[in-house]
């Protein structure tokens, strides 16, 4: 079974730009969650999607948004990038809910904002 894939793996953007990250979950998994990982803040929950609906949202500004498609693939968008958005963005999939089931993580997208 193929694992969670994320594209791109690395990205360099400048302040003010926007970026879209993509995540393909494990086949059959319907829940996709996104996390931001930084040395200072650790792993912080961004949002979770299930059946194309946002189920939960973390404490991030509105510049961070996401969506999920009918095939469970998900995208995350960050608009008006700031230096502090530099981080590893991790996507995770689980069977139906990250609350009840273990999550399988992708390799992450390393975003650098200059």
Residues at the interface with another protein (CB under 8 A): 33, 35, 42-43, 45, 48, 55-56, 58, 88, 90, 92, 97-108
Of 14 and 25, which CB lies nearer to another protein in the complex structure? 25
Nearest-approach distance from CB 54 to another protein, in angstroms: 11
Of 51 and 80, which CB lies nearer to another protein in the complex structure? 51
59/45 Cα distance (integer angstroms): 8
Nearest-approach distance from CB 68 to another protein, in angstroms: 15
Nearest-approach distance from CB 108 to another protein, in angstroms: 6
Of 80 and 101, which CB lies nearer to another protein in the complex structure? 101
Nearest-approach distance from CB 14 to another protein, in angstroms: 24
* Residues 104 and 94 sit within 8 Å (Cβ to Cβ): yes
CA-atom Rg of the chain in angstroms:
13
* Residues 11 and 19 sit within 8 Å (Cβ to Cβ): yes
Of 18 and 112, which CB lies nearer to another protein in the complex structure? 112
Q: What is the DSSP string of 47-101?
A: EEEETTEEEEE-S--TTEEEEE-TTS-EEEEE-S--GGG-EEEEEEEESS-TTTS
The token duo for 62 is 């509105």
């Amino acid at each position: 079974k193929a694992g969670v894939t994320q594209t791109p793996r690395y990205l360099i953007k400048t302040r003010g730009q926007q970026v879209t990250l993509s995540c393909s979950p494990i086949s059959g998994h319907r829940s996709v969650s996104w996390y931001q990982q930084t040395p200072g803040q650790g792993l912080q929950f961004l949002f979770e999607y299930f059946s194309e609906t946002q189920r939960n949202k973390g404490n991030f500004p509105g510049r961070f948004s996401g969506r999920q498609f009918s095939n469970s693939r998900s995208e995350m968008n960050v608009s008006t990038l700031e230096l502090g958005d530099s981080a590893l963005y991790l996507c995770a999939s689980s069977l139906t809910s990250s609350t009840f089931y273990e999550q399988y993580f992708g390799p992450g997208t390393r975003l650098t904002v200059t």
